[in-house]
Amino acid sequence: MGQQLTMTPQLQQAIRLLQLSTLDLQQEIQEALESNPMLERQEDGDDFDTSDPMADGAEITAPAPDGGENFTESGFQESLRSVEALDEGDYERIPNELPVDTAWEDVYQTSASNLPSSDDEEWDFTTRTSAGESLQSHLLWQLNLVPMSDKDRLIAVTLIDCINDQGYLEEPLEELLDAFDPELDVELDELEAVLHRIQQFEPAGIGARNLSECLLLQLRQLPDSTPWLAEAKRLVSDHLDLLGSRDYNQLLRRMRLKEDELRQIIELIQSLNPRPGSQIESSEPEYIIPDVIVRKHNDRWLVELNQEAIPRLRVNPQYASFVRRADSSADNTFMRNQLQEARWFIKSLQSRNETLMKVATQIVEHQRGFLEYGEEAMKPLVLHDIAEAVGMHESTISRVTTQKYMHTPRGIYELKYFFSSHVSTAEGGECSSTAIRAIIKKLIASENAKKPLSDSKIAGLLEAQGIQVARRTVAKYRESLGIAPSSERKRLM
């Protein structure tokens, strides 16, 4: 004898739906609708045949939150009981003709029928049909507009292929020269000449071999009347390493400039783009659909499921009425199995929505300070705290908070964002690591640019506020925020 843990297909389906993001869930629902004739989506404005007693009772929708905290399950349970009653009641005979619930135009629509008229002021064909443009395709498009010999065009295409996404030429010209067919008799001067032609393309600074050349190409395209243009070219060509190390005293001596003059030159250089290729966005934008919406009403924070992101499903009552209890034919068995799978799928969606709602409500309960005052009021929170509050396992909470997003008045955040470790305070309390990052960011934003705060100084300021953080921890938090060290933050006022 022995004990064995098994998972039913229903439980496996519920766990799989629980960890899906909203976009993946919508795709899963669409596949279920296409494969199971018993499932159907109820759109707003649909008119079902109310003469069928099942038409009003078979609808199953996502649970509506009651005051942001409690669920209204009576409607779901009533609908579920009406569907389950199909197994015990008498069924109507299959009619001679089934009603047609769709029109030809609803299924077979041409692609142009959904597009606005070309006379519309908002009509823009490219925004609806074009994909993201790559940097190489953008440069090749400009190359086709330039008169050039076949040999030079071949060289230009080769050079463009070697330009990375940042806009820099990765391979040295000497190595590229060896890659050409000896019969073409390509010389290094020809590569240089064609490269100079490419460097005149847009965006400015493209095709540079290093940062100095990239900035210099952009400065050359500025009008000659630009103030301090000659000095900026000289600084970029000869003293860029000093500017990178922020050694302003050496720059003042070598360029024989005053402090105010050097500041204006640096401002001109900082207006340039060190990564010109990043201006051409080749990737498609990624959209986030929030699963939960949090809003404040009468001094209370309400938590609601995003009803627009959760399709409303129901068991088709007319198809379900065709199932015969005592009939064991192949068609009836198929329909009975599809009906049972439809019930399981709807129950799994219901379970997912309930779990998501419970977890989101507890997160809002713990992080009211963040919603009221911002990141500095974030409290420490771990998965165990939420799991204990809702009576579930930590692995379930981890699945619920992965790729699920909450829309708040302060923005859209992933549910995992509200979880953070804690640091002890002088009074014996705890402070969230997210709050400490926000304090560090605020301290650096208000620092003296001539004398930026070091990590040790920031640790001392935090300790003065009762937060005990080591210098290494401050450095780790600063790097996670993408903030440079104090030596690189020093500016010339």
Please tell me the predicted confidence (pLDDT) of residue 408: 92
The greatest distance separating any two alpha carbons of the chain, rounded to the nearest whole angstrom, comes to 100
pLDDT band at 364 (very low <50, low <70, confident <90, very high): very high
| Bigger pLDDT: 58 vs 217 | 217
pLDDT (tens digit per residue) in 404-437: 899 999 899 999 888 887 676 666 667 888 888 8
Mean pLDDT, residues 332-358 taken together? 87
Q: Write the pLDDT tens digit of every residue in 186-215.
A: 888 888 999 999 999 988 999 999 999 999
361's CB contacts (< 8 A; 6+ apart) are 68, 69, 303
Q: How confident is the model at residue 104 (pLDDT cuts 50, 70, 90)?
A: very low
Least confident of 14-18, 133-137, 399-403: 14-18
CB-CB neighbours of 165 under 10 Å: 13
| Section 90-108 average pLDDT | 45
Looking at per-residue pLDDT, the higher value among 304 and 12 belongs to 304
- Say which residue, 271 or 41, is predicted with more confidence: 271
Are 491 and 447 a contacting pair, CB within 8 Å? no
pLDDT tier at 46 (50, 70, 90 boundaries)?
low
The secondary element (H helix, E strand) that includes residue 419 is none
User: How many angstroms separate the CA atoms of 438 and 448, rounded?
Assistant: 18
- Cβ–Cβ under 8 Å, residues 442 and 436: no
Percent of the chain scoring above 90 in pLDDT? 9
Residues 419 and 432: beta-carbon distance below 8 Å: no
Give pLDDT, residue 196. Answer: 92
Tokens of 131: 């994909």
Q: Is the pLDDT of residue 66 over 80?
A: no
Domain positions in the chain: 9-88+314-356, 135-198, 211-279, 422-489
Helix (H) or strand (E) holding 432: strand 430-432
pLDDT the model gives residue 168: 92
User: What's CA 432's distance to the chain center, in Å?
Assistant: 24
pTM value is: 0.60
**Residue 23 has what pLDDT?**
82
Q: What is the pLDDT of residues 254-264, one digit of tens each?
A: 888 888 888 88
Distance between CA atoms of 471 and 456, rounded to whole angstroms?
5
Fold of 422-489: Arc Repressor Mutant, subunit A (1.10.10)
